[in-house]
Amino acid sequence: MLAGAVASLSLPPFGLWPVLLVCVPGLVWLLDGAGERRSFARGFAIGWSFAFGYFVPSLWWISEAFRVEPEKFAALIPFAVAGLPAYLALYWGAAAGLAARFWDTGWRRLMLLACLLSAGEWLRGHMLTGFPWNLPGYAAEPFEGLSQAASLGGIYALTLLVLLASAAPAAFWQPGHPKRGPHRSGLAYAGIMAATVIGLHVWGNQRVTDYDAIARAADPQSAAPLVRIVQPSIPQNIKWDRTRRDEIVSIYLQMTARPWPADLQVPPLVVWPESALPLLLAEEDGLRERIAKLLPKGSFLLTGGLYRSAEADGTTRIYNSLLVFGHGGQMMGRHDKVRLVPFGEFLPFPAVLEPLGIRQLARLPSGFSEGQADTVVAVPGMPSFAGFICYEAVFPRSFPRKQLPKLLVNVTNDAWFGTSGGPHQHLVQARFRSIEQGLPMIRAANTGISAMIDSAGRVRASLPLFETGILQAALPATLPVTWYAMLGDALFAALALVFLTVVLICRLNNL
């Protein structure tokens, strides 16, 4: 647990990646004892303990959400800060237990463990709605060049690489197998890992350099639209207060109405954060017309908001949506949130949990309805975009080749998490979605961190936490379609299978 807790310092907001060169080998050496006994149970216990220590401090910020209304939710804090990490650690435990069951010697055990742990992380991101927060691959974030590897195989492939590389010191020594100094295979493994990391870093830096050249060479006649991101910094404890409704609406209107540059070449975009207004904007004709009059001709408003839909069976559903409004306030398109937050926006296993007095944080009796599919929103007159509402931004995504978007839009409300590490981790994960797709991202956050992110995942402009203001920036250029955009997680799966095959072949031939 201590090794896992120290390993969590590799993640934002700390970014102390060298700790992985100690903690991951420490995990390997702890598993060496279980591996000698071929004990799944002992390996599971070690892997689970490491992961529990890793997730508790790195997800501690979740407790902030329960302090917004402490009289209702404070009693659940211990269950949140311990229960979620305990569940997430099961994937590491299962992977480490399986590795211990088929344990090997030298570099082969490192490759086996890295492949199984990264496969476990992929499962963690997909099973039971998925929660792929704080994957080890995000430890590469301080290295701009190395981070670009996510454009090839995504964050899961980068997680595999980080685990393979950070385990390298354990290739030189294994308890019970004394050697007179570093042996040849250990040196070869460490050398290959170092060359791979350095090579990808150099390649990534060149990718960024080439992107900057593309941006400079862009045709000045096809000017990028100016984007105005509104960050009102409205505290969560008043956001849904009906008595403050007019005040909140007035804040958005005043910030949106600020003067525009006189030399606008193309209509701008205005972006408001997740569930911006405490009302159903799609049903407020008069308010939409007021907003439209504040916008330059031909411009669009993209805003998070609740959307009510009357279904064919007579039921009514409420979606957490990203809405597009155009000329005269007409709704032109929408993306409904597909990945809802468990216990935040819906209550899993309600028949079991509701009798215990447990309910979701969102103030809806039945919670939000789930969107049907990840879609690309195409509206004439503006770039097609893929919407990422709140924590949807932590999920890697691929799109059909014929429907690739030109832009990513992330609207979120991180007011729940105060000044903790949560908003910083959320921003970093959103940046990796831009790297994976080779597309710029507009990020509008109620209390921050709002940002304009370019196609290489760099923050071009931002507003800090709990600062009220508007952020204006030109939309960055796009990069050519990435491997990840075309292949999704297929490259990660192929690499993991190849590495496991190499381990098996070398094991059978005692190489």
Domains, the chain, ordered by start: 2-176+183-215+489-508 (no CATH), 225-309+320-337+374-476 (3.60.110.10), 339-372 (no CATH)
Report the distance separating Cα 484 and Cα 183, nearest Å. 37
User: At residue 473, what are phi and psi to the nearest 5 degrees?
Assistant: -155, 150
Q: Cα separations (Å) of 441 from 26, 142, 260, 473?
A: 38, 19, 22, 12
pLDDT of residue 368: 78
Task: Determine whether 72 is an active site residue.
Answer: no
Q: What is the pLDDT along the chain (511 residues), one digit of tens a residue?
A: 999 999 999 999 999 999 999 999 999 999 998 878 889 999 999 999 999 999 999 999 988 877 767 766 677 788 878 989 999 999 999 999 999 999 988 899 999 999 999 999 999 999 988 999 999 999 999 999 999 999 999 999 999 999 999 999 999 887 766 554 456 788 899 999 999 999 999 999 999 999 999 888 776 656 788 999 999 999 988 888 889 999 999 999 999 999 998 888 888 999 999 999 999 999 999 999 999 999 999 999 999 999 998 877 778 889 999 999 998 899 999 999 988 877 666 655 555 555 555 555 555 545 678 888 778 999 998 999 999 999 899 999 877 777 889 999 999 999 888 889 999 999 999 999 999 999 999 999 999 999 999 999 999 999 999 999 999 999 999 999 999 999 999 999 999 999 999 999 988 887 7
DSSP 291-329: HHHHSPTT-EEEEEEEEEEE-TTS-EEEEEEEEEE-GGG
pTM of the model: 0.93
From the candidates 115, 121, 239, 337, give the one annotated as an active-site residue. Answer: 337
Task: Determine whether 402 is an active site residue.
Answer: no
Report the distance separating Cα 95 and Cα 328, nearest Å. 55
- The answer to whether the beta carbons of residues 396 and 431 sit under 8 Å apart is no
The torsion defined by the Cα of 368, 384, 209 and 15, in degrees rounded to 10, comes to 0
Please enumerate, as own/partner, the contacts of 13-16 that have beta carbons within 8 Å and a separation of 24 or more.
13/421, 13/424, 13/425, 15/139, 15/141, 15/142
pLDDT of residue 357: 55
Tokens of 13: 């907001």
- The answer to whether the beta carbons of residues 310 and 280 sit under 8 Å apart is no
- The answer to whether the beta carbons of residues 58 and 73 sit under 8 Å apart is no
From the candidates 274, 345, 392, 436, give the one annotated as an active-site residue. Answer: 274
From the candidates 23, 115, 390, 436, give the one annotated as an active-site residue. Answer: 390
Task: Determine whether 506 is an active site residue.
Answer: no
Report the distance separating Cα 188 and Cα 108, nearest Å. 12
DSSP 8-state symbol, 342: B
Closest among 486, 474, 417, 415 to 442, alpha carbons compared: 474
pLDDT of residue 350: 56
